[in-house]
Structure 1
Amino acid sequence: MKVGLYFGSYNPIHIGHLAIANYMVEFTGIDQLWFVVSPQSPHKKKNNLLDDYQRLEMVHRAVEGDDRLRASNIEFNLPKPSYTVDTLAYLKDQHPNYDFVILMGSDNLENFHKWKNFESILENYGIIVYPRPGFDASKVQEHKNIVVAGEAPLMEISSSFIRRAIRDGKDVRHFLPPKTWEYLEEMNFYK
């Protein structure tokens, strides 16, 4: 089984994340997509980041009923800070028959060379890049393991926009999966 790993804080998960996920499982050859919820980094300011398990719960609610998508807390129990190369090694050990690929925005690809052991990741795992606004596909280094999902929808919605809007009393329910919105309202998050 080919599994796409979509790392993020998901603070909160929104329809942009789901649109990209839907595109990836339908158009790139992956069988399943795992939303890997990244834990709070001990080196970063909290800055409105909800608790790890609250963000995981939002992702669970967002993907409920869609067998192609899964919420993953795999990094919660790994050493902090979590590095993608370590997460991949752990996952490969736990699921030796799965073929893992990384899904990343073109903005993250620009800094990929700064990741811990990026050469090892690049040689051993596929990377599917989804375009972000302003992305120039011609600048992507050519490599057998990097594929640009050129027809993926461009998403300009962001979690920080949603948090700001909620704090300002705006109704942004249609930017979020319905069950995620209900959970945010019930818990009074970001207000």
Structure 2
Amino acid sequence: MKIGLFFGSFNPIHVGHLIIANTMATTTDLEQVWFIVSPQNPFKKNSSLLHEFDRFDLVQRAISDNTLLRANDIEFHMPKPSYTIDTLVRLQEKFPQHQFKLIMGEDNLAQFPNWKNYDKILEYTGLYVYPRPNAKPHIFANHPDVKFVEAPLLDISATFLRACIKKGQSIRYMVPEPVEQLIKIKKFYQ
């Protein structure tokens, strides 16, 4: 099975993530998309990062009605910070029957050469890239292992959602209802 891997903090998961994942699963040759919930991004500060198990729970609630989407906590059981190449190796060892492709926003391509063993990631998995606002031209535009996928151009961010929650503003329609409910009940991001 060909599986797209969508790495992220998902702090919190929102409709932008879900639309991209569903677009990848329904308009490309990917048969499923797995959300790889990252405990700690090596490039981000984690001051406002919700506990990994809470974020994983939010992802599971968000995708529970879509058989094309799955949540995966493999990085919870790896040294932190986790690096994509190490996770890819672990996934390939655990699921040798699957072929994995890395899903990435176009805005991240500029930083991609800074990733640990980025050349090996390209060689072993390749990239499925979705458009992002204000993405700049990059050296991977014509790379044979980089596939650009037409997808809605969405300008919604978890940072914006956390700010809304902190101010007591509604996040309705920006996250799935089960996610919104749990955020309210547990008073996340307040």
Q: TM-score, normalised by structure 2?
A: 0.95
One-letter amino acid of the counterpart of residue 186, structure 1 = I
- Consecutive unaligned residues of structure 1, counting only runs of 5 or more, are none
Aligned to 1:47: 47
Counterpart residue number, 1:142: 142
**2:34 corresponds to which residue?**
34
**Match runs of 1:146-161 below 5 Å:** 146-149=146-149, 151-161=150-160
Give the CA deviation at 1:60.
0.4
Quote the residue 1:69 is aligned against. Answer: 69
Rounded Cα–Cα distance in structure 2 between residues aligned with 1:119 and 1:44: 22
Match of 2:85 in 1: 85
- Deviations along 1:62-113, one digit per CA (max 9) or x if unpaired, are 0002110011111000111111111000000111110000000011111111
How far 1:165 moved relative to its partner? 0.5
Checking the alignment, whether the CA contact within 8 Å between 2:133 and 2:153 is kept in structure 1 is yes
TM superposition shift of 1:136: 5.0
State the Cα deviation string for residues 44-73 of structure 1 (Å, max 9, x = none). 643211000000000000000211001111
- The 8 Å contact of residues 137 and 148 in structure 1, kept in 2 or not, is answered as no
Report the alpha carbon displacement of residue 41 of structure 1 after superposing the two structures with TM: 5.2
| CA RMSD of superposed structures (Å) | 1.6
Looking at structure 2, the residues matched to 50 and 101 of structure 1 have their Cα atoms a distance apart, in angstroms, of: 27
Cα gap change, 1:42 to 1:118, in 2 (>3 Å):
closer
Residue 139 of structure 1: how far off its partner (Å): 5.5
Matches within 5 A, 1:1-191: 1-40=1-40, 45-135=45-135, 140-149=140-149, 151-191=150-190
TM-superposition CA deviations, 1:125-147 (whole Å, max 9, x none): 12001110123567534222100
Preserved CA contact (<8 Å) 2:40 2:82 = no
- Check conservation: 1:34, 1:71, Cα contact below 8 A: yes
TM-score (norm 1): 0.94
From the superposition, tell whether residues 47 and 33 of structure 1 become closer, same or farther in structure 2 (CA, over 3 Å). Answer: same
CA distance in 1, matches of 2:156, 2:8: 14
Q: Report the alpha carbon displacement of residue 42 of structure 1 after superposing the two structures with TM.
A: 8.1
Distance 2:22 2:37 in 1: 17
Unaligned runs of 5+ in 2: none
Superposed CA offset, 1:18-64 (max 9, x none): 01011100111100000100003589643211000000000000000
Match of 1:60, SS state, is helix
Q: Percent identity?
A: 45
- Give the distance between the partners of 1:40 and 1:130, measured in 2 at CA: 23
Alpha-carbon distance in 1 for matches of 2:22, 2:119:
28
Cα–Cα, structure 1 residues 40 and 121, in superposed 2: closer, same or farther, change >3 Å? closer
CA contact (8 A) 2:3 2:34 kept: yes
